[in-house]
Structure 1
Amino acid sequence: MTIMKAEWRLAIRNKRLLFFNILVPIVFIAPLILSGAPGVHVTVILVVLFALFSTFGSSIPLIRDKESGLLQRYVMTGVNPGFLLLQRTLAFALIDFLQLVPAQALIIIVTGSNFGEMSLFMTMVFLALIAGNLFGVLAASASRSIAEGALFSSLLALYMIHLAGVFRVAVPGSLVSIVEPWIPFRPLYLSVRTIVLGAEPVMSSDLAPPLFFILVLIMGTYFRGKSFLGVAIR
C-alpha cells in the first residue's frame, strides 16, 4: 500500500494539476449537458470523455516515470513489478473518480436522476475508470515514448468504445454483437443511456462478462509488469 499512498500524496500536492483535472471535465460537460443537445450525442460524448480521461491518466505518467527511472528504483527495492502496476492502477482509478465527482454531480443534477440511477451511474463510472486505467497501462507497456503512449492509449480506448456499441448498433448474430457485452465500457454506456435517455437500467446479467474481462486485464497487467519493468531486476 506504500505505492498507493505515494500516488495519493503526489496527486494532492500537485494542486495545479488537481485543479485542472477537476475543472476541465466540468467546463467540457456543462455546455453539453445544458445545451439541450440530442441525448444520443450527449451519451456518446460522455462515455468517450470518461474513457479517455482514465486511459490517458494512467499511460502518460507511467511512461514518464519509467523514463525517469522511478519505477525501476521501486523494483530494485524488492517491490513486485506486477503488484507495482496494479497498485498504481487502483490509486489512479480512485484519484480519477474523485476528480470526476463534480462533473458526475453536474450530470446527475441536470438529468434529474433518482438515487438508484445516481448510484448505478457512479458505480459504472468507477468500473469504467478501472478498466480505462488498465487499458492505459497495457498501452504504455507497449510504448517507447510519451507520444506513442498517447497514441496507443487513445486508439485502444476508442476501439474498445466502438466494440462496446457506443458508436453503432450491432447486427444481431454478428461477431461484434457477441463481443459487445464483454467490453468493460459497455455498463457505463448503458448507465449513461439510463440517466440521459431514460433507457432500461443496467441489469446484473450485464455486469458478469465485463467483470470477467476486467479480471483478465488485471492478470495481464500483473504479468506484463515483469517484462515491462523486469530490466530493473536483471
Structure 2
Amino acid sequence: MKNVSLKVSAFALLMFGCIAEVEKKDKSNLKSLVTDEILAENRKLLVDSLPGWGNKNLNMDIQQVEFHRDTLSFVTTGWFFYYPYGKHATIASFRKAYPQFTVIEEKASLNNDAMLLYRVKQKNSFVKLIYQPDTERMEIVSAKINDTEFTFKNGVKIGMQKEDFIKEFFSHPFSLKGYNHIKIISALDGINHNYHFEDNTLRSIELKTDYMFNQN
C-alpha cells in the first residue's frame, strides 16, 4: 500500500510539473505575441509619422519609410547627407577644418580619364573625397567610420546612444528598440548613410555612393 501511495505521489508531481511547464510556455508565447503586436503598431505609427518629423534645420523631407527585419530605412532630401563634414571647395579647406586627420592622395581612372582622390584617415576610419567641377566642391566617394574623432557637423559620432542619434535627425523622440541598423538614402542623387548600432550604441557608419571607384 505504501508503494502505491508513493507511485501516486510521484505521478501527481510529474503531472503538476508538466502542467506548470505548459503554462510557462503559454505565458511565454503570449508575451512574444504581445511584443510582436506592439512592434507592429510602432512600425505603423512610424511609417505614418516620420515624414513629418524630419529635422527642418537639415531640410529633411522624409519619404518611403520602410522596416525590414532589424533595419529602418527611408529616403530624404537635404544637403547635409552630401556634406556631413561641411561644404569645402578644396582639399586645403577640408584639411584646415580637420587638421587632426592624415590626407593621402590616390590615383584613379574613370572612362580612361585620370582622377585624383583623397583618403582622409585616422585610426580605423577613413573618408574618401574627390573634387567635383560641376558642384565646385569636395564630394564624398565613400567612408567607413569606427572612431569618435570623425564627428559629423551635426554632432553624430561613434559611441553615441540611439536616443541621442534620433534627436539629431528628428523633431520628435521615438523608440527604435529592436532595430540595430538605420539606412538613410538621398532622394536627389547617389549617397546612402548606413548607421549600425549594438547595445543601443552607435558602433560604425558607412557612406556609399554611385561613384565608380574603389570604395574601400
TM score, norm. by length of structure 2: 0.31
Larger radius of gyration: 2
TM-score, structure 1 as length reference:
0.29
Say which structure is richer in strand: 2
Larger RCO, structure (CA 8 Å, separation 6 or more): 1
